[in-house]
Amino acid sequence: MKKYISLLAIAATIGIISCSNKATSTNGEKLPLVENTTIHNNTSESDKIKISIDGKSFVFKLANNKTAAALLKIGSFETTAAVYHDNHYYGVTPKILPIDNASFVNTAKKGQLIYSQEYNGLGVFFEAGHFENNEFVIIGEVEGDISTLKASKGQVDMKIELIQKNKK
């Protein structure tokens, strides 16, 4: 009997954590469904976003792929994020981004921004990570130093803002 109660408690905790990881646009609207990887070396040619996590802000130059372009179309939004695998913050996106013709990887470097369609979210890596059973799309890279971003306990606020969108 104690085994079943313990399993029930674990399942309830996982369910609560999963449900509390919500994303909304900054104006509160519901966002519908919205591909793959070249990061421009010349940052003046790249679209850029600012991601703030737990009060720390970082600018990311975006990759030249359809997944990153779809993220730009969403515009600014806020979500909650939590640390996973002691190497990245993960927060859900308000839309599922396309991964058509994507170049999938299972390793991310420190400072990379990834999108996982399986988990419908962004990962901001403050340490390198390798995932044997997961694939994701690299959609950006931090400009500057990300070493001030460290693991925290529990959920934190994550805000994504468009700061530069180039005409293509």
Determine the average pLDDT of the residues in 45-68.
93
Q: Where are the domains of the chain?
A: 2-164
Q: Torsions phi, psi of 8, nearest 5?
A: -65, -40
Q: How far apart are CA 133 and CA 148, in angstroms?
A: 29
Q: How far apart are CA 66 and CA 164, in angstroms?
A: 17
- For the whole prediction, is pTM greater than 0.75? no
What is the model's pLDDT at position 164?
Answer: 72
Q: How many CB atoms are closer than 10 A to CB 37?
A: 18
More confident residue, 25 or 73: 73
Helix ranges (DSSP H) in 21-160: 66-74
| pLDDT tens digits, 120-168 | 999 999 999 999 888 899 999 999 999 999 888 889 999 999 997 676 5
Determine the average pLDDT of the residues in 2-12.
43
**Could you tell me the pLDDT band of residue 25, with boundaries at 50, 70 and 90?**
very low
DSSP assignment letter at 95 = S
- Which CATH architecture best describes the domain 2-164? Beta Barrel (2.40)
Q: Which amino acid is at 71?
A: L
Asked if pLDDT for residue 69 goes beyond 90, the answer is yes
